[in-house]
Structure 1
């Protein structure tokens, strides 16, 4: 929830412009929406009613490169998605993206002066939104613990297991890890990270023994053995990959597999904007190290499984 200072700024801007204004987090989840001003489209109405946009809408917005913007830009209209054009201004603090301020502009009639005012409000929103970013940082502490748990440092594994045990979430002996990766994400890495984190969301804490973490453009899933109630790991991975494909909106592929087997699923929509070498998974030697401390090669070994001790 945004504080009074932030919501007052947003509502005042919407009133001045007589246009609908929305503030989204970097994952394009609605943080606050102003009143309607007769310019709502299907996307805005659905997002307000459902308290969030559909993955395909969020993927479309992210595919415009908004995560790297440093000034105002236009998110084009999409007839297919029922979406009017919007002006989008990044809200940043010391370079870090905190939110996206969006103003409806279906007919491209915003003036230079109005764009300046929107940018001014975006600058003033940074400080009120900083506390939300700090809260998100604290919530991601689990990522470091899970990555330590499947890493190759015995001391770090012990510390991570003890910390998770303190929260009642330590994995059982025999837990299995699997990895989902966006190969060769490059400049899309932040988009990939958000897609992976979003695809894994809603499962933490998880009563079925799941632990998850995201690092760069890869995610690790750690599950108790099925006999201990760990559930269907391949099925879970399949669903994660499917959702990442929606959020990717053609910018990148997502692959997943286990040691010694090729990827179970490739989420290439068949219309990637970057064919050629970018379509091949990068070597894990270029990325994080997983259980055993060894890279796992290219496409056929793009992720690994490990039984914990």
Structure 2
């Protein structure tokens, strides 16, 4: 089966969309690490046989100083991808954020050479609108250099670069065939024996819908969540100016209405797309993630073993799963958890 790994801190409404859309998009079973107490989300997930989740906060980390969100995402994804290695049901696993939806053509994966161990889902980014009536179905694809130059000359983007066109990441998200010497990361697959990134295969049939700040409310929610996650976003080169500006607004102690008004102005200046121009140029792709049918549900025994792997990992030191850590106890810890799950 095809699995996904995600570290999540979001509303029940957004989690419901995330689960159902990814099941329609090609994921068979979702593994979710809840990054904070989310009782309403847990209530929903408890009734979802296609999801295995763990309360990945508090005692999950033991005495480990885990740092920011990015570090937690990396360890959680590496943990489940390494634990799933060797189980016949674990064909592919992908790393997804809570605002992403996989679009996987299974025939593409099926015809890959067995030696191809890593793939990449290339992003389609949701067109942003200030106050839309519903969720977007128009997405920006990656552009070639001539198209980027055209948008720059028309005044749509500040520079003829993908980084100026896309608000979020442009590298996409990784997938791997679970293996004892590979670990799933946030944007790359890591060879755990060398610490090197593994080359990834790409294909038009392997893509990703990214709902990066697609409206004003989501922009505010995401940035406040980022700035409160423990991650020093202001040190990230591409996000630093906006992160500092939002931090400054929040620190001024303005009224709720004034804060919202200034955040909306930042959104208009930094994230709002020129929908009319992009549509007239024919640069947008239309996708409705709520259409389509999911694949048949994987066998219960496979789902039981996924949950057993997560249960077995709860009390072990998470530092052993760092992809580049090459921890001497990693193999023994993984073997013990896997043997328990096979019983």
**TM-score category, normalised to shorter length:** under 0.3
Q: TM-score, normalised by structure 2?
A: 0.25
Q: TM-score, normalised by structure 1?
A: 0.27
